[in-house]
Amino acid sequence: MNKHAPEFLLAGGMSTTARLTWAAVLSVVGVAIQILFSVVFGWFFLLAAVLLTALKGKSNTPQQMRDYKWHNVTIDELKHASRLLAETERIKQGSGCRSVAGCGVALIVIGLLGLIILVGALEIPNMSATRPWRSSRA
């Protein structure tokens, strides 16, 4: 197994393709159940999809090196390390809401959630009219 591959909490032996396929199917089924039948039962499918894609936590704290010995480095190695540090700092500066992409994605997600909530709030009073199979005449 690749040491950089993600480790999932549930079903560790499942391939990533199968895992994402199952998560997508569970999500679609969950949303469909929420729309057609019951919000509560749909959440169970959505919860299963989330748990299927949940990752194990990892620490980025470096482990202490034992038996570390100082050694001389060349100027080229020092320049390479300096370039790596500069590149890392440049990437850090471009993440989060300091970049257009980070804020743009956050605003799109918040806007879509707001739109979904608004449409849901407007449709709740009209639910009996849009679901003839749930009429009280049966």
Q: Is 134 helix (H, G, I), strand (E, B) or coil?
A: helix
| pTM of the model as a whole | 0.42
Measured over the CA atoms of residue 58, residue 108, residue 28 and residue 121, the dihedral's sign is positive
pLDDT in tens, 27-62: 999 998 888 887 788 888 889 888 888 887 777 676
pLDDT in tens, 100-111: 566 777 788 899
Residue 119 and residue 35: Cα distance in Å, rounded? 12
Can you tell me the distance from the alpha carbon of 78 to that of 86, in angstroms, rounded to the nearest whole number?
Answer: 12
Q: How far apart are CA 96 and CA 82, in angstroms?
A: 24
Better-scored residue on pLDDT, 127 or 82:
82
